[in-house]
Amino acid sequence: MSDPDAVENLTKSALNKFGRIHVLVNNAAIQVSKTVIETTVEEWNRQMAVNVGGVFLCSRGFLPHLRQTRGVIINLSSVNAFFVEPACAGYCATKAAIIGLTKAMAIDHGRQGVRVHAICPGYIDAGLAESYFQSQADPARAEPMQVSYMPWVGSVDRGGSSIGRFPGERGVLLYDRDPDHCGRRVQCGSSAQRGVDVQLTAEEISVLHRTFLDYRSTEDFIRNPLVLKRAQGLYYWDTAGKRYLTPLVNLCRNAGTRPSPVLSAMREQMERMTFVPPLHGIADVTLKFVEKLGSVCPGNLRSVKPFSGGSEAVESALKFTRQYFKQTGHPGKYKFISRYSSYHGGTFGGMSASGTGERKAKFEPQMPGFLKVFPPSFYRDDFASWEDANRLLHVALKT
């Protein structure tokens, strides 16, 4: 893969055999398990030539033919592009370079109809990973590697794929062109890392098996439980008495979890009436709420449709938008643009709009018509200029 003549011969052979090329997978790589000081110049250059140079040479050779078929390039990077391990300097550097090269090619050739993606798998339990750990000469080095990486080991036979999908909630599903989620562990909020002392009773375990938890399996939750008992302000307490400071309350309700004025208003309303069938009527207090909210909204924002939660509100906003364009004679305007790293709710439409890849993995395929752009963070800016960003968005909207 590092020899230009060999890659040219490979390109010709592939064309002679298949006629047309639709997919290119750049997967070749070598690893020298050494630090920078231990690595020779020859070893460094060899890793760069195979791991990164191979992606460059094969992509350059096949791109003219992929443009004709509007094909796709899949580059195999690694979680080591984001989470490094000891004595792996050259390999980690090459895998990080593949991420940058993938982004550059996606910008350059996306407008030509060629999609360019990167997949960043972890270790796969196919026989080599365990033997690799066990073969380390220094046990002190092998042990932290197993602690850090073995929970990430994927299964070949589980989920039907050895690339990207990992058992249970301990792995990740990696999304192309989404640097915030490549290599992220779903387990980062588990009680094992929080040090939670919650002990589930047999009755609680039985009930958990008869309910459904958002974005995670019941068995994983039972292994790492978090059962909350009460709240006050910005704090929660679990059934073991441990206190948690949570920022999520501030995101949703600035007044905290038990604001006294809100509790008083809710108690007063519940004593008068607890439910109004929305298909047949509306509560007088709801009319007052609509009037009050409209009076403080800017501009001409006066129309209000109350909902019980954010996911329901997002779902209805998506329906309103598509209904509006159909009724005004523009049925082809159905696409939505949202940001990577965004969260728009747990309903199906809300998940499709969201950019939180690992949460959505279990429910794919998502609804069509949802495009993703990068958040306005200069620190993670992936474009050379605003003009480049706008050009890519223009092409995305047309396709």
pLDDT band at 83 (very low <50, low <70, confident <90, very high): confident
**Measured CA distances, 28 to 31, 49, 57, 164, 260 (Å):** 11, 11, 12, 17, 62
Q: CB 245: neighbour CB atoms within 10 A? A: 9
Report, as an integer, the average pLDDT of 280-297: 87
Tokens of 130: 């365990």
- In the annotation, is 235 catalytic? no
Give pLDDT, residue 179.
34
pLDDT > 50? residue 189: no
- d(Cα 363, Cα 125) in Å, to the nearest integer? 24
Contact between residue 89 and residue 35 where contact means Cβ atoms under 8 Å apart = yes
Q: Using a pLDDT cut of 90, give the percent of the chain over it.
A: 31
Amino acid in the structure at residue 240: A
Give pLDDT, residue 384.
65
Contact between residue 91 and residue 51 where contact means Cβ atoms under 8 Å apart = yes
Contact between residue 375 and residue 177 where contact means Cβ atoms under 8 Å apart = no
Contact between residue 369 and residue 354 where contact means Cβ atoms under 8 Å apart = no
Report, as an integer, the average pLDDT of 367-372: 88
Give pLDDT, residue 9.
94
Closest CA to 120 of 87, 85, 83: 83
pLDDT band at 345 (very low <50, low <70, confident <90, very high): confident
- Show the domains of the chain with their CATH numbers: 4-120+174-187 (3.40.50.720), 191-252 (3.90.1150.10), 275-306 (no CATH), 309-399 (3.40.640.10)
First to last CA, the chain: 33
Average pLDDT, the chain: 77
Element (H, E) at 118: strand 115-119
Would you call 161 helix, strand, or coil by DSSP? coil
Give pLDDT, residue 35.
93
Give pLDDT, residue 327.
94
- d(Cα 144, Cα 135) in Å, to the nearest integer? 14
Report, as an integer, the average pLDDT of 226-236: 81
Total-model pTM? 0.43
Element (H, E) at 357: helix 357-360
What does DSSP say about strands 235-238 and 243-245: parallel, antiparallel, or unpaired? antiparallel
Per-residue model confidence as pLDDT tens digits over 10-36: 999 999 999 999 999 999 999 998 999
Pick the residue with more confidence: 248 or 123?
123
Segment of 98-112, 127-141, 302-316 carrying the highest mean pLDDT: 98-112
Determine the Cα angle at 102 with ends 380 and 388, to 5°: 60
* CA 244 to mean position of chain CA atoms: 26
Report, as an integer, the average pLDDT of 305-328: 90
Give pLDDT, residue 6.
94
Report, as an integer, the average pLDDT of 82-103: 90
Closest CA to 353 of 365, 339, 364: 339
Report, as an integer, the average pLDDT of 350-362: 80
Pick the residue with more confidence: 223 or 193?
223
pLDDT band at 37 (very low <50, low <70, confident <90, very high): very high
Element (H, E) at 371: strand 370-373
Which residues touch 249 (CB under 8 Å, ≥6 apart)? 231, 234, 256, 257
Per-residue model confidence as pLDDT tens digits over 130-188: 666 666 666 555 544 444 444 445 555 443 333 333 333 232 323 233 333 333 332 32
Any long-range contacts for 130-135 (C-beta under 8 Å, 24+ apart)?
none
**Measured CA distances, 377 to 115, 185, 287, 370, 381 (Å):** 24, 22, 40, 21, 6
pLDDT > 50? residue 193: no
Give pLDDT, residue 136.
62
Give pLDDT, residue 325.
94
